[in-house]
A = this chain, B = another copy of it.
């Protein structure tokens, strides 16, 4: 599939790069996918590890001139196949561009290269008394560039919002290698179209981010936490609706169902009560944290909570969050032991529909015969049902695919969206076409064709079926 001769892509790019380029088949194979399962993967022709923006520009100029697809990659921690290789592509890795370019304490911004890992950025800001809130589940491995490219969310969105709300200015390389600066560093700015916002969440289809200036916030106090257990998912979901209607401002409000609780306990010694139907985990880091936590306990008890436990010190609180963060590893552990297959949904519904959503997801599991477990950023209505299957059993695969699809259809039926934070990638590109109306699909095509007329940027992904 790939050429290793000097006249191949790698050989022709090498002289113009400060970073490296390889077409070693083992290296290419190791870099061909993100963390999604069951998403299509092609055979890449080369891997460029960009050392700087000039490398990105040189790679894109070359690809544009020769009509070679380019797949931008950060930490490859995505869950929708957005960073997966397509046949004959150049994998363009930004992972080595990890500099913190500037911390502007007084104006509360930070400027970074795209490859920096989210957690490393948080750690770099802490000595300055600053924080970058967005916290995807993959916070310890995902890159900021990838976070921006997918407009990533996380557990703190219920209070702090998503990545887009932190993006001030982007330096991007366009399809033909042109470097341009988008957005504004100031708190406000309306000079021209919001093209920085358009590139945020564009999943590598419009350009490649080489630098970002992000809003940061004062580092807050340690949060207070509470965990409530419920007899059923429905009672927990109803408590969420009731609690979000109060004036409390939780910085986290997460749900976990019984199946997931059992899998988390199976993975590690988290001591969760696995006789319950569901649990809710909340935190508040505001000055009203004590009142927020009390209010949560009151609402939980009014909705039939079996138990409410509090964590009033950082160590205990971190243990609770660690259990929540273990859900995805626990699911993977479970999948590996039961045929290896997992499909992860990411539906966001109106908060008032969470209970109905969970009930009907359970029905979908029964109807299809697929095992389904659910966690969710319940405070946002962003639910993650995980469908398990045996990859060696065609009937199991088909049942899982059916369940996965029916969950997205259900999300749309309830007034929601097929993806709250993971993005479309190639895993949900057909479903994107179902979510958007005809005019919106046309706008997507028109904008893509205008900005990337030769279509070299991440083809076969988000926009494939529009």
Interface string of A425-466 (1 = CB under 8 A from B): 000100010011111101110111111000000000011001
**Bound: A182/B426 CA distance, A:** 21
Determine if A185 is an interface residue (Cβ-Cβ < 8 Å): yes
A157 nearest CB across to chain B (Å): 6
Q: Which one of A47-55, A228-236, A410-418 is at the interface?
A: A410-418
Task: Name which residue of chain B comes closest to A248, CB basis.
Answer: B218
Contact residue among B106, B247, B432, B450 (Cβ-Cβ distance under 8 Å from A352): B106
Which residues in B have their C-beta under 8 angstroms from that of A185? 350, 415
Q: Which one of A88-96, A188-196, A313-321, A328-336 is at the interface?
A: A188-196
Which residues in B have their C-beta under 8 angstroms from that of A435? 191-192
How often does this chain occur in the complex, in copies?
Answer: 2
Determine if A107 is an interface residue (Cβ-Cβ < 8 Å): yes
Contact residue among B151, B192, B286, B442 (Cβ-Cβ distance under 8 Å from A440): B192
Determine if A349 is an interface residue (Cβ-Cβ < 8 Å): yes
Asked if A439 and B174 sit within 8 Å, CB to CB, the answer is: yes
Which residues in B have their C-beta under 8 angstroms from that of A174? 439, 443
Task: Name which residue of chain B comes closest to A106, CB basis.
Answer: B352
Given contacts A180-B443, A195-B444, A446-B451, contact A188 B350 (CB under 8 A): no
Asked if A151 and B190 sit within 8 Å, CB to CB, the answer is: yes
Determine if A420 is an interface residue (Cβ-Cβ < 8 Å): yes
A254 nearest CB across to chain B (Å): 14
Determine if A241 is an interface residue (Cβ-Cβ < 8 Å): yes
Asked if B450 and A381 sit within 8 Å, CB to CB, the answer is: no
Q: Which one of A37-45, A69-77, A198-206 is at the interface?
A: A198-206
Contact residue among B182, B201, B439 (Cβ-Cβ distance under 8 Å from A180): B439
Determine if A187 is an interface residue (Cβ-Cβ < 8 Å): yes
**Bound: A188/B179 CA distance, A:** 30
User: 29 interchain pairs (CB within 8 A)?
Assistant: A104-B350, A106-B241, A157-B187, A164-B194, A164-B197, A181-B440, A185-B350, A186-B415, A187-B348, A187-B380, A188-B380, A188-B421, A190-B201, A190-B419, A191-B424, A191-B432, A191-B435, A192-B436, A192-B462, A193-B201, A193-B205, A195-B443, A197-B197, A287-B287, A287-B288, A443-B451, A446-B450, A446-B451, A447-B447
- Which 5 pairs across A and B sit closest by C-beta, in order of nearness? A180-B439, A450-B450, A446-B450, A188-B420, A197-B197
